[in-house]
Amino acid sequence: MKKSFLVLIAMFLFAASGFSQNYPGTGKFGLGIDGITSSPNIVGKYYFTDKVAGMIIAGADFDIPGGDETVGTEKVTGTDIRAGLAFMYHFTNTKVSPYLGIQGIYQNKKESGFYTTGTAPDARSYLNAGVIFGIDYFFDKNISVGIKETVGTEIGFERDVPKQETNTKMNTNTVLTARFYF
């Protein structure tokens, strides 16, 4: 029953998109977030043509542990700073706009906590790169929501404290998106 209902909604959205006007188009700029339900990234999206768009991505998290350090320990505030680029091809420029593209995000992360003096871990850098695909739904020419899936790799670069070598992981990530276009 639940699957039938979801299929019915999807069919309705795709059928309705055939009657919609074009959205948004060459030269349009949108500002929004990726990751409505998690640690969001702020995103600026620009349409180079009606179907080709690029994004600038930025995000940050801060983890400040509570309490005071004891003698012989130090309190470390955790940070997670992200910046990246993405390029995508929209298959349509209608109310429902599926797309396919590539994305790369550089991330610098430092763990928070209480550490014995002189043993706090160094920050570690990561490169997340992969293929993205998703759908944007435009309520009108200025507002969209969507879902974006990333399938890619995460490369964690080496660091000295604690000693860690460069490693690579395959990963996936799904986020909800929202944008306002000017």
pLDDT in tens, 112-123: 989 988 888 888
Number of domains in the chain: 1
pLDDT in tens, 55-106: 999 999 999 998 888 888 999 999 999 999 999 999 998 899 999 999 999 9
Give the per-residue pLDDT at 8. Answer: 47
Q: Is residue 122 part of a domain?
A: yes
Residues contacting 23, CB < 8 A, separation 6+: 93, 94, 95, 97, 138, 140, 141, 144
Residue 18 has pLDDT above 60, yes or no: no
Q: pTM of the entire structure? A: 0.80
Domain holding 51, by residue range, is 21-181
Residue 23 has pLDDT above 70, yes or no: yes
Q: Is residue 10 part of a domain?
A: no
Instruction: Average the pLDDT over 117-135 and give the result.
Output: 92
The percentage of the chain sitting over the pLDDT mark of 90, rounded to a whole number, equals 59
Q: Is residue 9 part of a domain?
A: no
CATH assignment of the domain containing 61: 2.40.160.20
Contact 34, 175 (CB under 8 A): yes
Q: Is residue 7 part of a domain?
A: no
Q: Is residue 56 part of a domain?
A: yes
Give the per-residue pLDDT at 70. Answer: 87
Q: Is residue 59 part of a domain?
A: yes
Contact 89, 74 (CB under 8 A): no
Q: Is residue 119 part of a domain?
A: yes
Instruction: Average the pLDDT over 140-166 and give the result.
Output: 90
Alpha helices of the chain — where are they, by DSSP H?
Answer: 2-17
Contact 20, 140 (CB under 8 A): no
Give the per-residue pLDDT at 82. Answer: 94
